[in-house]
Chain A
Amino acid sequence: MRIIISNSSDEPIYEQITKQIKAQILKGELKQGDLLPSIRALARDLQISVITTKRAYEELEREGFIETVQGKGSFVAGQNRELIKEKKLNIIEEKLSKVVEESKDLGISFDEILELLKILYEEV
């Protein structure tokens, strides 16, 4: 597992942690059954407070990414394929809705966005 925290970011630290762990699970870098560091060990390693790591793990648990077994630790939960696909789509949906919002603000039409998207998708 790899987590890098920015202290100067506007994003709360627990969110930085959840995002990075989620991304690693969705990309398959973290696999079902993988053991995560304990809440307290992670706090020590990242030099942040226990409450922050605890909140991050609770969030991941609530969204079904990890499971905590009392006395054993937290593990990457089994992800069903459809669910993974849905979660991936959710991430993109969230970003696209921001694009749509801003495009409307700036008076850019749907066709223009589509055109841009086509070009970008082929380029990258």
Chain B
Amino acid sequence: MDYILEVKNLRKKFKNFTLDSISFNLEPGYIMGFIGPNGAGKSTTIKLIMNLLKKDGGEIRIFGKDHEKYEKEVKNRIGFVYDENYYYEDLTVNTMKNIVASFYSNWDDNKFNGYMKEFDLNPKAKIKTLSKGMKMKFSLAVALSHNADLIIMDEPTSGLDPVFRREILDILYSVIQDEGKSIFFSTHITTDLEKIADYITFINKGKIVFSKPKDDVLQNYGIVKGGLDILDGNIRKEFIGIRETKVGFEALTDNMDKTRKMFGNKVLIERATLEDIMVYSVRR
């Protein structure tokens, strides 16, 4: 299988934080959501992929090529959306676009103008006068206007209202109508991912907790609710995270079938959401 993005044993050490031998792969034609709490290492990983930070060890291959050796070639085919605005605030949208466009060999002005219309952006407006949502739309328009095969986005939906988040999802669906293209995006708004993502990669404290098809994750993880009388030390160990109160307990399991066999009708088992999985795994 040829991967569009391959991260192998990626390491980066900071004073107070270590990204610890991270590995995951993304095939062409699919969307991968990258989740984890604040400070888990999401942005660091993305910066390392984009070579905005130098890695200490490991391997990153994009389109099958080493991301440092072939940096220029690789970046030409990536549409990158960053969570902070990295544009010159005093320039107009159009001038900024002209600067960015000059970096890409496949820049498509028609496509860009199409997005400007679709997003209702004024080309003459200064970047600093744009709202957060407008800036995100501008970044997105740039990322989608040079025929990129891989779209990488760091928290593209954070701070945006639900209406616009839904619009972004529609745009992402239109990108992957082409089965050669993939999208990798980090977020902590997991409801967006529950719809669109094919794969979920979950990072916590600099380590990958899992990287799996979303359907498998949602199929196997469950929230178990029951009375305190059935809990003991061994049973507590069966769960990934547990919240006990005076009136009962709630816990996360990564094997609903096993839990169902163990407890039968003594507990209530419900499907876990990605948010449940994140919260319980981090709290354990």
Nearest 7 Cβ contacts at the A-B interface = A44-B173, A51-B198, A49-B198, A40-B177, A47-B195, A50-B198, A51-B213
Which residue of chain A lies nearest to B173 when distances are taken between CB atoms in the complex? A44
Q: Which of the residues B29, B174, B198 comes within 8 Å of A44, measured between beta carbons?
A: B174
**B271 proximal to A (CB < 8 A):** yes
Whether the Cβ atoms of B195 and A14 lie closer than 8 Å is no
Chain B residues 210 to 231 lying within 8 A of chain A, measured CB to CB, are: 213-215, 219
Chain B residues 13 to 35 lying within 8 A of chain A, measured CB to CB, are: 29-31
Chain A residues 12 to 39 lying within 8 A of chain B, measured CB to CB, are: 12-14, 38
Q: Which residues of B contact A49 (CB under 8 A)?
A: 31, 195-198, 214-215
Whether the Cβ atoms of B31 and A50 lie closer than 8 Å is yes
| Interchain CA distance A12-B218 in the complex, whole Å | 9
Whether the Cβ atoms of A47 and B215 lie closer than 8 Å is no
**A105 proximal to B (CB < 8 A):** no
**A99 proximal to B (CB < 8 A):** no
**Given known contacts A40-B177, A47-B169, is B214 in contact with A12 (CB within 8 Å)?**
no
Whether the Cβ atoms of A10 and B271 lie closer than 8 Å is yes
Which secondary structure dominates where chain B touches chain A? Answer: mixed
| Interchain CA distance A50-B213 in the complex, whole Å | 11
Whether the Cβ atoms of A50 and B30 lie closer than 8 Å is yes
**Given known contacts A49-B196, A49-B197, A50-B198, is B176 in contact with A40 (CB within 8 Å)?**
yes
Whether the Cβ atoms of A48 and B195 lie closer than 8 Å is yes
| Interchain CA distance A71-B196 in the complex, whole Å | 24
Of the four ranges (under 10, 10 to 19, 20 to 34, 35 or more), the interface on chain B belongs to: 20 to 34
**B179 proximal to A (CB < 8 A):** yes
| Interchain CA distance A12-B177 in the complex, whole Å | 23
Q: Which residues of B contact A51 (CB under 8 A)?
A: 30, 198-199, 213-215
Interface flags for A33-62 (1: CB within 8 Å of B; 0: not) read 000001011011001111110010000000
| Interchain CA distance A13-B219 in the complex, whole Å | 10
Which residue of chain A lies nearest to B30 when distances are taken between CB atoms in the complex? A50
Q: Which of the residues A43, A44, A52 comes within 8 Å of B215, measured between beta carbons?
A: A52
Q: Which residues of A contact B195 (CB under 8 A)?
A: 47-49
Q: Which residues of A contact B196 (CB under 8 A)?
A: 47-49
Whether the Cβ atoms of A12 and B174 lie closer than 8 Å is no
Q: Which residues of A contact B215 (CB under 8 A)?
A: 12-14, 49, 51-52, 55
Which residue of chain B lies nearest to A47 when distances are taken between CB atoms in the complex? B195
Q: Which residues of B contact A44 (CB under 8 A)?
A: 170, 173-174, 177
| Interchain CA distance A48-B172 in the complex, whole Å | 12
Whether the Cβ atoms of A40 and B179 lie closer than 8 Å is yes
| Interchain CA distance A52-B103 in the complex, whole Å | 37
Which residue of chain B lies nearest to A14 when distances are taken between CB atoms in the complex? B215
| Interchain CA distance A14-B219 in the complex, whole Å | 11
**What 16 new A-B contacts, CB under 8 Å, besides A50-B30, A51-B215?**
A40-B177, A41-B177, A43-B173, A44-B170, A44-B174, A44-B177, A47-B195, A47-B196, A48-B196, A49-B31, A49-B195, A49-B197, A49-B214, A50-B198, A51-B198, A55-B215
